[in-house]
Amino acid sequence: GGDRRGKPRAPSFLTFEEIGGQDRAKKELKEALDFLIRYDEIQKLGIRPLKGILLTGPPGTGKTLMAKAAAHYTNSVFMAAAGSEFVEMYVGVGASRIRDLFKEARTRAQKENKESAIIFIDEIDVIGGKRDGGQHREYDQTLNQLLTEMDGIHTSESPRVLIVAATNRKEMLDSALLRPGRFDRHIEVDLPDKKGRLHILNIHSKNKPIAEAVELEHVAEETFGFSGAQLESVMNEAAIYAMRDEVSHIEQRHLSLAVDKVMMGEKTDRESTK
Ligand code: ATP
């Protein structure tokens, strides 16, 4: 709402309402986050603090969105990194980046007067893959540093730090990461069902002129197996087709063409990686 024309959307202020489908995942995540919010009760009962949440599922399903919404929901500072950013040629550089990330999260939380910080690590499998007898010393050090940082999170600490990590290859993760007190809460962020797809299409058509006769329901039906990211692409491509047609509104046929295009794009991507 309000007049936000021309202003880029602040990416860290995203709410759960802007995430389509994923009802179960959202509910589970909110429940887990209540551990961060209802912290005093947790502490009084002697419950172990929640340190790590692992989001699993295929690419483009909204894991990053979930982490951002989590920060908004808990009024936390949000920091994001990707596993691949810690891969360096020199031993120790990745580990020191991890250290810096945690340090910065704490500093920013203090500066912004927030009681908690959420650190999002995408592609955690890149640094947290199964260790195989010291062959990847650099990866080991980075992972060890992450484990050290997690073990160093204490109940009494302020700001409270929570790590949300994402992977689409959970089976690849080193078991050390999955132990109690580390990433012991797993939430599956799966491909959306038809209802979820319709919800996502609705979200991404909000800023677009759609002809009255358009039935997004039909698009939702046609897009079995599409991720949220692909559905966002469909809406975008449809708008491009409308522009090419020099019409002011997106029509059903633009959407059908867009669905085909995104589906084909997917296929050629897959074929080229074979
Ligand atoms: P990856 O594993 O590839 O990092 P991801 O699961 O983190 O993917 P996001 O980065 O959260 O996926 O999603 C990419 C984009 O796709 C979002 O910016 C958004 O436009 C769209 N999108 C994905 N899922 C949803 C969803 N559930 N609701 C609305 N939009 C979505």
Q: Is the CB of 203 under 6 A from ligand 1?
A: yes
Query: Which residue is closest in CA terms to ligand 1's atom 23?
Result: 228
Q: Summarize pLDDT for 141-169 with one digit per residue, the tens.
A: 889 999 999 988 876 678 899 999 999 99
The pLDDT value given to residue 89: 67
Write the Ramachandran bin of 174: left for phi over 0, alpha for psi from -120 to 50, otherwise beta: beta
Helix ranges, the chain (H)? 23-37, 39-44, 63-73, 93-111, 125-128, 137-151, 175-178, 194-205, 216-222, 228-244, 252-273
Report whether pLDDT(135) > 90: no
The pLDDT value given to residue 155: 65
Choose the residue to mutate in 14, 61, 72 for probing ligand 1, maximizing ligand atoms within 8 Å of C-beta: 61
Q: Residue 36 — very low, low, confident or very high, per pLDDT cuts 50/70/90?
A: confident
Q: Which residues of 140-159 are buried (b: 16+ CB within 10 A; e: fewer)?
A: bbbbebbbebbeebeeeeeb
Closest of 3, 13, 33 to residue 112, by C-alpha:
13
As for the ipTM of the complex, it is: 0.96
SS3 of residue 170 by DSSP:
helix
Q: Is the CB of 122 under 6 A from ligand 1?
A: yes
Query: Which residue is closest in CA terms to ligand 1's atom 11?
Result: 62
Residues 6+ apart with CB under 8 A from 137: 91
Closest of 109, 114, 177 to residue 149, by C-alpha:
177
